[in-house]
């Protein structure tokens, strides 16, 4: 409202007795603004005091972590034996991104380089892309489809060529519509 008054625009409330065009209305408005600011500061102060008291009693706030010290140690051993994030997350029953996030936060760990064209996610990405497109794809899309052994009319057929070892369950070939 002060921005409006700087530009010469007056504020008049229809429900309260506030009219900044008059000196009395401006005084009432400023008093309400000061009270609102004081209430915000008191609320913030009470919240900080309550959190400090809870911490003093030993309460730990926030969501409990799923990555315990035991799981982190098991993940370290599995990673040392050559397991990927996906294998580790499946074995420990946690999300892949959780494993990766905790691994990145540890300074003593090293990352394994990604091997191109070897994960299920690559094939799944291509499958989704082709499923959402209409017939009449470009030559480049046809080449990708041929490389991965994907036939949009018969489901995903995984080829063991070009180093692609993608284990994927073939979708039903009895589907009538190719993009279902």
Per-domain residue ranges for the chain? 2-56, 69-104, 115-180
| The pLDDT value given to residue 40 | 96
Name every residue whose Cβ is closer than 8 Å to that of residue 127 and which is 6 or more positions away in sequence: 150, 156
Cα separation, 145 vs 128, in Å, equals 12
What are the pLDDT digits (tens) for 139-172? 555 555 555 554 444 433 333 333 443 443 334 3
| The pLDDT value given to residue 153 | 41
pTM for the model stands at 0.38
């Amino acid at each position: 409202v002060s921005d409006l008054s700087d530009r010469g625009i007056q504020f008049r409330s229809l429900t309260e007795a506030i009219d900044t065009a008059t000196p009395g209305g401006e005084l009432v408005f400023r008093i309400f603004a000061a009270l609102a600011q004081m209430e915000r500061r008191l609320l913030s102060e009470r919240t900080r005091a309550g959190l400090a008291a809870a911490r003093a009693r030993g309460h730990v706030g926030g969501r409990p972590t799923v990555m315990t010290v035991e799981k982190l140690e098991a993940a370290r051993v599995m990673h040392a034996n050559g397991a990927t994030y996906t294998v580790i997350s499946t074995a420990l029953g946690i999300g892949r991104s959780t494993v990766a996030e905790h691994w990145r936060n540890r300074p003593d760990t090293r990352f394994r380089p990604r091997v191109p064209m070897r994960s299920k996610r690559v094939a799944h990405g291509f499958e989704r892309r082709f499923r959402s497109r209409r017939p009449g794809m470009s030559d480049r899309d046809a080449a990708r489809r041929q490389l991965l052994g994907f036939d949009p009319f018969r489901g995903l057929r995984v080829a063991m060529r070009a180093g692609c070892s993608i284990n994927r369950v073939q979708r039903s070939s009895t589907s009538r519509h190719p993009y279902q």
